[in-house]
Amino acid sequence: MKLPVEGDNWHQVIRSDKLKLGKKKMRNIGLKSIMLLRQESTVHATDALCRHMAWPLAYGGKVKDDCITCPLHQTRYDLNNGEVKEWSPFPLFPLYGRFLGSLRRPSPLVVHETRELDGWVEVRLSTA
Ligand code: FES
């Protein structure tokens, strides 16, 4: 999938060897906070904060089947395109989850392009 990008600016965000398999990190590019995640075949970069109520996904986000689930109310996003798979289901108290979900309209997580070059993970910010 081709992402709308901010110019041709690649930003070195973390040394490749500092991002271990399965681990998430939060980094800033200027004023923008992003989350990085290394998987077997790729490095994902997304906006750092959950679109529901801004929980930082690097802290406690669960990754499974190419999706990340926010630990707060369990909103789940596709890591490849940011699509919302589930919005605030909050299985512990589903009625409360629905109420909390209604406070903010579902919106996708912004996904950024990544590459690895000369021992660095680089990110090109999406304008989406
Ligand atoms: S803040 Fe992430 S699901 Fe509510």
Does the Cβ of 84 fall within 6 Å of ligand 1?
A: no
Give pLDDT tens digits for 73-88.
999 999 999 999 999 9
Question: At 124, phi and psi to the nearest 5?
Answer: -115, 120
pTM here is 0.91
The rounded Å distance from CA 119 to ligand 1 centre is: 33
CB distance 111 to 60 below 8 Å: no
Separation CA 50–CA 95 (nearest Å): 20
Residue ranges and CATH numbers for the domains of the chain are 14-123 (2.102.10.10)
Mean pLDDT of the chain: 94
Listed as own residue / partner, the contacts of 68-76 with beta carbons closer than 8 Å and 24 or more positions apart are 68/37, 68/109, 73/97, 73/100, 73/101, 75/50, 75/51, 75/101
The yes-or-no verdict on residue 8 having pLDDT over 80 is no
The rounded Å distance from CA 8 to ligand 1 centre is: 32
